[in-house]
Every structure is written in C-alpha cells, then in structure tokens.
Structure 1
Amino acid sequence: MNNLHAIVQQLVPEKELMPTTSASELIEHVCSNRYKKENCSKEDKQGFKQLPRVLQDIILLIDLDTELNINGVLGFIENSSGRYLDETIDVLGRIRAVNDANALKEIKDILREYDAGAHKLNDDIQHLQQYEVRSYAQTHPILDDEFYDRIQRAEEKLYINANQENVFDHLMRYIEANKKELMDEIVVYL
C-alpha cells in the first residue's frame, strides 16, 4: 500500500462532498471503487490496517458479503478474506450485527476444533494448479461430514440465510450514529 492518501482518495467521495455524504453514499462509493487494481489489497495487511477504521470495516463487510453470495462461508474462510475472520467478527460486533458475529464465532470455534483455521485452508488452496477443479473435501481432506454439517448449521444463522437484517443496514446505522468521528478519520487523508 504505497500511497495511503491516494488510495483513500480513490475509495471515498471528494473532500468537499464528505460533510454531506450519507452512510449509504459512502458505502456505495467504496463498493464501486474497492476492486480497482490500484486500490487497497488486503494482501498488504500492514497497509490495510493503516486505512481509517471505517474504510476497513466497509471493505471487510463488502468482502464478506461477496464471498457469502458467491462461495458461502467456507469460500469466505478459505479465500484471502478468511485471513481477516477475527477482524470481520469485530466489525460485526461494532455495528451490532450480533447474530452474524455469533455465527462467525461459532464457525471459528468449529474450525479451531478441526485445526482448520483460515490460514491453513487458504494454504491448502494455494497448492492447487491454476484452473484445477476440486471439491472442498478433496482440497481439505482432514474435514469430515460432521464438520460440514456443523458449519452448515452455523452458516444458516448468518443474515444471508436467515430472515434478518442485512449487515449493511447495521453498518449504515453505525456510520450515521458516529458520522462526525468517522468522517474526521477519513478527511485527514484527502
């Protein structure tokens, strides 16, 4: 993350617009610019940790939501986003998405029981050949049917599967309630 100021400037609206930017607009702006090549890569964990916390929170939730929609919770865990499982749980707690935080804590506990943390699962997929297609069980042979059943039951408690509020609703309320402090963190980079 070579130029933190430039990255923040690309992720958020212009400085003049920040005072009137709503939580929804800020999230939308970060979502629109999150995956541009020149913007922050979570692979650079130190650089990512230097971003204003509200931007880290938004990015972590974008990545959680994307992975859950595309690959489910196990895809989230085994991909690079899973390396931020603890931080994602913290964000969910901070924005009061308690059911989701508890579901991810339960999943983390199951992973720990099987000695299958995010780093281990991510390392397993790094050994695959490009374009190699394998089932989750083939990629991670240490996991059994009971593991998958327990993960599935815990995953069903997440907002994406349960009939509860979306994490972005919680995030918008959190940003609006703490707007001045959060925006002040961002503006110093603009």
Structure 2
Amino acid sequence: MANPPGEYRSMPVADILDSLAIQICEPPLSKLREDLRSIPEVLRIPILIIDFDIEVQMNGILGFLENSTGRYLTDTIDALETIAAHDAAKTLRAIHRIMSEHGVTVERLRNDFADAQEFQITSFRELHGDELSQMADLIVGEAGELYIYDPAAAQVFDLLLAYLERRRDEFVASLEACASA
C-alpha cells in the first residue's frame, strides 16, 4: 500500500479512508475484494461502501448491479445498516425487492455479459433484452432516493467516518495485517 502501515497510526481516520479509496483497486487490497466476506467487518464495510459509491457515481445503479460489486448487494445493504445509513439501505432493499419481483438476480445480470466483447459499448436493453426494461426503469426511479442523487439525504461518508472513529485501532490493525499479508 502506498502509505506504510506505521503511518496509519498517526493519521486521522478521514485521511486513512481517503488512502483506502485511492488504493482499493491495487494489490494487496484488490486481492481482498475477491472474497470480501473473509475479511474483518471493520475493513469490509468501508470497502463495500467505497465500491458502491464509486460504481454508482461512474455507472449508475444499473452499472453497480451488473458489475462485480453487485455480487455484494446484500453485504452492501448490511454495511449501510451497520453504519446507520438506514435510508440508503432501505433504498437498496427496495431495489433488491424489485429485482426479486422480476425474477432477476445479480448473477443473471452478470451472466448476460458472457458474450460481450471487452470495451463493447451497449445499453441495458441490448444486453438484457426488452423484458427487463420495465424493471430497469423501476430500479432507476428508486435509486433517485439515494444520497448520491439527493444532497439533502444523510451523508453516508460522515456516518462511515463516525463508525471507523469508534473502531480506529481495529481498522488500523486490519490495514496493517492486509499490508503484511
């Protein structure tokens, strides 16, 4: 990791979180993301929330659900609940319910990519068919309630920082263990 683990002990939690967000796609953190359920909750929660936020900011809610980060939809909901981001968790639960009502899983959305070419530009409708267009519209409408689109909504990263502040030593120890693995 770019910052030596010893430096984390003297850094504010906000700076550590910023560092984590920058390094999340690089080894050794990128390896951890292959099986997030195997890492300590205090590290898993910020990774899930950062991944969710980045994906939705870049590709919208449908991009999140289609991407590998979508595999962790339920875990992301749990992470949001754990830090008390109840409104965001409620919105994601509603999105999950919409998918269930349409008989769609994240795995199905991911499988539709099997025949796509790398860097292929396509639309949700082209990739998943007309039958899922109504579901997509409902999901996008529901996602409008997320903090990402509503500046008046609860600030998820403020809640995440408060959660990590209360667990600072455990958070730093998890990062140190990750760096030495």
Q: Which TM-score applies when normalising by structure 1? A: 0.82
Contact 2:43–2:174 (8 Å) recurs in 1: no
Amino acid at match of 2:18: E
Contact 1:159–1:167 (8 Å) recurs in 2: yes
**CA distance change for structure 1 residues 18 and 167 in 2, over 3 Å: closer, same or farther?**
same
Counterpart secondary structure, 2:30: coil
Contact 1:103–1:154 (8 Å) recurs in 2: yes
**CA distance change for structure 1 residues 58 and 154 in 2, over 3 Å: closer, same or farther?**
same
| Structure 1 partner of 2:125 | 137
CA offset digits 1:61-116 (Å, max 9, x no partner): 11111111111101000000000101111110011111100000000010111121
Among residues 137, 159, 165, which one is paired with 1:170 in the alignment? 159
Amino acid at match of 1:164: A
Q: Where in structure 2 are the equivalents of 1:108-187 lying within 5 Å?
A: 108-141=96-129, 142-145=131-134, 147-162=135-150, 163-187=152-176
Among residues 22, 27, 33, which one is paired with 1:32 in the alignment? 22
Instruction: Supply the RMSD in Å over aligned alpha carbons.
Output: 2.2
Q: Which TM-score applies when normalising by structure 2? A: 0.86
Counterpart secondary structure, 2:63: helix
Q: Distance in 2 between matches of 1:38 and 1:22?
A: 22
Amino acid at match of 1:18: Y
Amino acid at match of 2:17: I
Amino acid at match of 2:114: Q
Q: Distance in 2 between matches of 1:28 and 1:149?
A: 33
Q: How many equivalent residue pairs?
A: 177
